[in-house]
Structures are given as structure tokens and as C-alpha cells.
Homo-oligomer: A and B are copies of this chain.
Amino acid sequence: MEDIPRSHPRYWSLVTRQKLVDAMKEGVVVPQGLISHGRGEAFDYILGEKSLDFALEAERTAVAAMLLAKRPIISVNGNYAALAADDIVKLSEQLNAPIEVNVFHRTEERVKVIEDFMKRHGATRVYGSECQKTHIPGLESARGIVCVDGIYSADVVLVAIEDGDRTEALRRMGKVVIAIDLNPFSRTAQAASITIVDEAIRATKNMISMAEELKGLGKDKLRDIVSSYSNRRTLSMAFRAMLERLEYASSKGIIIDLGFRDEVNV
């Protein structure tokens, strides 16, 4: 890992980027994944780089749905693995949900690389290169491949930074799809049953704590949480949050006051 000065005002953002770059060198992340991450960063900037109320509500509902599920599963792609492997493993244990490696730019070698990466981070139940495979109906080519006993048979699927087309196909199969996606405009955000508009690392950490708490509740209480949820409301609130932050910014223009004078002297 490159040396990033601790004093840099965006130290954690730079460290997170470095994680992805390192994972790209290992073959876990493809270059296109870095561009996706950059897009997410932009939306996170607008949202203020924290887990807002609507995100916390979606995360809580997601945990309740995963705990109620007969066959919950966590779908892991290159970016999600690179960002949050340790936390994904913890969440998988808390929810008693296995992991399936599922990538947009699919080669069996890359699936194996991510599978090994997750196992090095402590994952024990991983569907990957060696499962019995089938296809998601309506998804052509390699990106439709899933494991028969994994995503294909799951009733609730957690995806993160996912392709919109695939999210839609999973919903058409009748599955509950929980999507972590910072862009509420995206097809994934729009198609999911529960959209978590939050950064993947923060969202996963939040869900680990919530799972610890919600595991103590009965099924009825969990069902109450799930039945009172509306994804339309969540998405409205996400757009609304972006709006409010921009309203403040538009009234100020300069929101980080660094003490410079607002005039140009040449």
C-alpha cells in the first residue's frame, strides 16, 4: 500500500481507494469497478458521507428480512469484497446467510480469485467456482450464471454495487432484493425491494450491529418492521436529503471556509 499522509483532509477516502487499487492488482476488482466506485463517491459527497435516517431504516428492514428469510444469501462482487470482506464475513455469520460470488465481468478464474479472497478473510460458506450452476432467466451471457443452491434458490438476496439489469432479473424471479447503492437514480436502486442508499462499508457495519439487536426479537416483531416499510418512501427521502444538502450549499456557495478572499487579483 502506498504511503498516504495521515494529515491529508481526505485520508479515509484515499485509503479506501487504495484498497480497491490493491484488489485490482490481485484480480478481485476490474478497472470498470474503480469507475463505479468514483460514481458512488460523488453521491456520498452529496449525501454528506454518513448513514442518514432513511438508510438506517432500510438497513434495519433489510436485517429483519434476512432474519425472516428461509434462504437468505449475500451476493458478493469484486468491489464489495475489496471494500468490506471482513465485515461481510461477520454479517454472514450474524445472519446465518451464506455468500455467493457473483460478478458482472465474469470469468471462472476471477470468481475463484474472489472466492479465495473471501476465504482468506474468514468466509466458510461460499458459493463460487465449484457449485452446480444455472442461469437467471432473461439474463444472457456469463453474467446470468448463478449457483443452483445459492442465489437461484434464495428467497432474499443482498447485493451491493450491483448491475441494474441483474437486480431487475432477480426481482422478476420473485425474490426480495436488498441493494446497497449510493445512487438513488440507478436502475438497481429503483428496482430493488429494499434500497440502502449508503456506502457499502458503513452499511455492512450498521447491519452487523442491527443483526445483534434484532436476533433477540420474535418473528412477529420482525414482520412488523418489514411490513411497515416502503421503498418508494426511502427513495423519496434519499432524493430529498440530496436536495436539502444542495439547498444549503446553494445558499452559501462556499461551504468549506478556508479563509480565502472571494476576488481575483491578476
Q: Establish whether residues A260 and B191, one from each chain, have CB atoms under 8 Å apart when the complex forms.
A: yes
Q: Establish whether residues B38 and A34, one from each chain, have CB atoms under 8 Å apart when the complex forms.
A: yes
Instruction: Name the distance in Å between A145's Cβ and chain B's nearest Cβ.
Output: 15
By a CB distance below 8 angstroms, the chain B residues around A266 are 65, 68-69, 155-156, 176, 223, 226
A residues 222-236 near B (Cβ < 8 Å) are 223, 226-227, 229-236
By a CB distance below 8 angstroms, the chain B residues around A140 are 5, 7
By a CB distance below 8 angstroms, the chain B residues around A232 are 253-254, 262
* Binary flags per residue of A153-175, CB closer than 8 Å to B gives 1, else 0: 00110000000110010010000
Number of identical protomers:
2
Q: Establish whether residues A264 and B187, one from each chain, have CB atoms under 8 Å apart when the complex forms.
A: no
Q: Establish whether residues A185 and B255, one from each chain, have CB atoms under 8 Å apart when the complex forms.
A: yes
Q: Establish whether residues A264 and B38, one from each chain, have CB atoms under 8 Å apart when the complex forms.
A: no
A116 interface residue per 8 A CB criterion: no
For the residues of A in contact with B, the DSSP-based class is helix
In the bound assembly, the distance between CA atoms of A236 and B249 in angstroms comes to 7
A225 to chain B: closest residue by CB: B264
How many residues of A are in contact with the other chain, CB < 8 A? 82
With A34-B34, A164-B10, A258-B191 as given contacts, are A264 and B20 in contact (CB-CB < 8 Å)? no
By a CB distance below 8 angstroms, the chain B residues around A5 are 140-141
A202 interface residue per 8 A CB criterion: no
Given A41-B42, A191-B256, output 7 extra A-B contacts at Cβ < 8 Å. Answer: A17-B32, A46-B242, A230-B262, A235-B249, A235-B253, A236-B251, A242-B246
